[in-house]
Amino acid sequence: MPALGTTALLILVPAAEPLLDAARAVNPATVRPGLPAHVTVSYPFVPITEGLTDAVHALAADTPQIALTLAEVVVRPGFLAVTAPGVQDLADRAGQRWPWLRPYDGRFGERPPTHLTVALGASAAEADRIAERVRALLPIRVSATGLELVERTTRGWQVRLSAPFSAG
């Protein structure tokens, strides 16, 4: 569990909630509690300080709405996700804006592919069942309209800022 005060920059994807439901149907413990379906732009992100709000709003304002297609399932030991290549450019720009950040603390390399995590800690058999259910729900196509800055608090993950993308 991330430490209190840890932040993340996300794109919420309510239309992908059925993917998480598919994992919950196999093993509820594989779905992270407290966060809805989302694509991570940057995690861990920077601590909330003065000026961060303006910087996140500026990043969002420089981003047109994203035509997001979730279509490819990725299964690794203990991990199941759906790729979100349409968000990679935004994640790269966030990395350029905050170059000292290491996505996922470097566990997946310097430029991990953007994705929507569906399940963590699933056994191989569970992952196979989840993947089968998830594939039946894909593709999901949505228009991503903004960023959410969330922070881990004693009450779980809390939205601290919503920043809309530009209209075009």
C-alpha span between 37 and 14 (Å, rounded): 6
Question: Is residue 21, in this structure, part of any structural domain at all?
Answer: yes
Question: Is residue 1, in this structure, part of any structural domain at all?
Answer: no
Question: Is residue 103, in this structure, part of any structural domain at all?
Answer: yes
Q: Is the pLDDT of residue 168 over 70?
A: no
Residues 115-163: tens digit of each pLDDT: 999 999 999 999 999 999 999 999 999 999 999 999 999 999 999 999 9
CB 134 within 8 A of CB 115: no
Structural domain that includes position 112: 7-164
Residues 153-164: tens digit of each pLDDT: 999 999 999 999
Q: What angle do CA 116, 112, 79 make, to 5 degrees?
A: 50
Q: What CATH number has the domain bearing residue 70?
A: 3.90.1140.10
Question: Is residue 32, in this structure, part of any structural domain at all?
Answer: yes
Residues 21-59: tens digit of each pLDDT: 999 999 999 999 889 999 999 999 999 988 899 999 999
Question: Is residue 122, in this structure, part of any structural domain at all?
Answer: yes
Question: Is residue 131, in this structure, part of any structural domain at all?
Answer: yes
Eight-class DSSP state of 16: G
Question: Is residue 2, in this structure, part of any structural domain at all?
Answer: no
Residue with tokens 């709000």: 53
Q: What is the pTM of this model?
A: 0.94
Q: Is the pLDDT of residue 1 over 80?
A: no
Domain count, the chain: 1
- Residue 12 has what pLDDT? 97
Q: Residue 141: how many CB atoms within 10 A of its CB?
A: 12
C-alpha span between 80 and 134 (Å, rounded): 10
